[in-house]
Structure 1
C-alpha cells in the first residue's frame, strides 16, 4: 500500500505510482533499536529522465570525491564554470575565443593553477579538434614549454579538467579531447 503520509489527493497519487515507475524520494534514514527505516517526506514520479541520468553522475562524482579525496585545483576561486575564473582569459573570454596563440601570453611564468588549466583546455579545444584521437600530453608540454610549465603541472591540469568533465581520454591514457 501507499504510505500513510500520502493521504492528500491519494487517488491521483496512486494512479501516477505503480510498479515499474521510477520515482524521486526525499526522506531520512533512521535507526532505532538496531532496526533501520526510511521516513519518506515526498515521493514524486520522475518525468524528465535527465534527472535520472544526473542522479547516476552525481553518485559517481560523490563516490570519487569520497574515495580519491579532493581534486587538483581545490581552493581555486570558482566562477560560474566550475573552477575557471570568469575574467579575461577565463571560459568564454577573449583568450578562449582567439585560441592558443592569444591564450599563451596571458599566463605568467610558472602559471597560477587556474591559468594553467585554462591554457591546457584552450590547447585541447584549438588543436585537439583536428583529429579523432585528440592530442597527447606531450603535445601540450611542447606547446607550453616556453612558459616554464612542467610536465607534472600539465598532467595535473589534464586530470583536473577530466574530473570536471572538460576533457575525456580517447585511444589511451595519454590522448585527450575537449568535450565541447
Structure 2
C-alpha cells in the first residue's frame, strides 16, 4: 500500500469498493458473470489503472491545467471515474464518442478508441442508459474530455449512489492527505468549507441531487422517509441528509407529506 493509502496491488480503493484494471488487450464487449450488462474495453489506452479518483463531471470541467497536469483544488487528477447518463453516442472511423451527463454541469465528451476494424464491428451503447466510465482526463484549459479505459452500463442504480459517496469520501481523504503533506493543519478545513467557492459546494450539490433522485423515485403515497434515505445513503450522517432536505424544501423541489419525516418530489 502506498503512503496515502489509496493504492494496493495496482488497484484503487475508496469507501470500501475497488477497481482492478486489466492488462490484457481486451477490446470488445464482454458480459460479466450472471449475464450482466456488457462491458466495453478500449484498445488504445494501455496505462495500468492505479490511482482512480471518483469525480463528478463539474469537477473535471472546472479543473485547472498547470504544466500539463490537471488539478482539482490543488489535487492532481489523471485517471478518474464518473457515473452519468449517455446523452449522445456517435460512431467514428476509429472510435466511439459519447456525451456523459451527471447533471452537475454540461456533459463531458468521452472517447473509446478501438481501431478501424473494431470500430466497424462495434455498436455504441444506447442513449439514455446510465454508465460508469473509467478514463484519463485529457484536453486543454478550454476543452476537456475523457479517454475511456473502460465503460459499463449500471446494473443497479445503487451504483450511482455508491459513486456519489465515494466521490465525497475520496476528495475529503485526498484533501486531508494534501494538508498533511504540506504541513497544514486539518483543523483549517471547517472554515474553508464555509466558502461558497470551496470544493465543499460540489459535495453538497452531489448529496442534494442524490437525495432528490431517491425521493423522486419513491412510488409511495406518503413519500420517502428520512430513515429510508439514511439506510440507502449509509455513508452520510442524518444531519447531512436533513440539511439537504431543508435546502430542497426551501428551493421548492420537495415537500413534506404525512409528517416532517416523509417527503415527496414537487416535480
Please give the range of the TM-score, normalised by the shorter of the 2 chains: 0.3 to 0.5
Larger strand proportion of the pair: 2
TM-score when scaled to structure 2?
Answer: 0.30
TM-score when scaled to structure 1?
Answer: 0.43
